[in-house]
Structure 1
Amino acid sequence: MEALVGLWTDLGRITGIALSTPVYAAVSALHVVGIALLFAPIALVDLRLAGFLRGLDTGALSVLRSTAKLGAGLAVPSGILLASARPDEYLANPTFLAKLAVVVLALANAVAFEVAARRLGLPALLDRAAGRLSALASLALWLAAIGLGRWIAFT
């Protein structure tokens, strides 16, 4: 664990995020953009899977899922960079650790959904119990991750 914290600390120094307020602010802004690109489309997909927004066809859902993947591709690495500014503090913060756990669960749920969608086809998951359960778990997990992320600032 010490080696991981050391690497994380080095990352903060190498990127300049640990030493530069403008760099930290830019990465923070990128993180917010990533969260927006992740959550907004995935919320629409989840609402459709849960039986709402029936006007969203599988083509629209495909575009939304791709956009959410782009958002995750921005949010996760930028979040790692943000935490590299003060890894010891973040790793000692129970709220941060809870957020990490929730994000891992949300990503695992997303991967399981993607595997099922590729194997069975997306239409097979629409308006079915498995799709609804995945969607409701996704909404709850991503909302929890966002809430915990905001709470970190106050802990």
Structure 2
Amino acid sequence: MEALLSWLAETALAEWVRLSRWGYAAINALHVLGIALLIGSIVALDLRLLGWRKQLPPHELGRLLQPVAVGGLLLAMTTGGGLFLADPSGYAAMPLFLFKLTLIVLGIANALLLNLGPGLAGATPRRLRLAGSLSLLLWPAVLIAGRFLAFVDG
């Protein structure tokens, strides 16, 4: 694993991220944009799944918000990979970083279990509340863990 992390740190892209005056800042700004798109759309949908604004059918709101969330997730993951290149060995050694990755996997799994299973239109109200509750716990926790990475050592 250390050989892979060392190789990643030596790539041209990793050097650009570390040494470019604006590279890291640009990637970080796009990462924040991806997070905003993800969290903003997910929180709105999750609140509906918990029972708010019952006049809006969950599957119709999902058709509007889920593509935004997926786009935000893909942008955040892509740019997060770029940020990781700034210090692959350092990030890989941080328990908080590994915890953040675990939360991301759980958040994605929660969404997939709902959408590949009954879907928003076919799920019971209880299943929708469960998925919404888990999502409202997981995605903000990802956000908090990611933000704390800048302030903890190890």
Q: TM-score, normalised by structure 1?
A: 0.88
User: Per-residue CA shift, 1:29-57, capped at 9, x if unaligned?
Assistant: 00000001111111111111111122333
Task: Name the CA shift for 1:7/1:115 in 2 (closer, same or farther; >3 Å).
Answer: farther
Unaligned runs of 5+ in 1: none
How much identity, in percent, do the aligned residues show? Answer: 39
Aligned residue for 1:151? 148
Q: How does 1:36-115 map to 2 (within 5 A)?
A: 36-57=36-57, 58-115=59-116
For residues 51 and 123 of structure 1, what CA distance do their matches in structure 2 show? 14
Paired residue for 2:130? 133
Picking from 101, 121, 124, the partner of 1:123 is: 121
The secondary structure found in structure 2 opposite 1:141 is helix
Distance 2:110 2:40 in 1: 17
Which residue, 137, 142, 152 being the options, matches 2:139?
Answer: 142
- 5+ long unaligned stretches in structure 2: none
Structure 1 pair 62–148 and aligned structure 2 pair: CA distance change class (3 A): same
Contact 1:49/1:125, CA 8 A, preserved across alignment = no
Kindly report structure 1 stretches of 4+ aligned residues shifted beyond 3 Å: none
- The yes-or-no answer on 1:32 pairing with 2:32 is yes
Q: CA RMSD in A?
A: 1.6
Q: Which amino acid aligns with 2:73?
A: A
Q: CA deviation at 1:5?
A: 1.2
1:20-77 deviation line (CA, Å, top 9, x unaligned): 1310000000000000111111111111111112233332321101110110110011
| 1:94-122 residue CA offsets vs partner (Å, 9 max, x unmatched) | 11111111111111111212202xxx342
Q: What TM-score, normalized by structure 2, do the two folds share?
A: 0.89
* CA contact 2:49–2:132 (8 Å) conserved in 1: yes
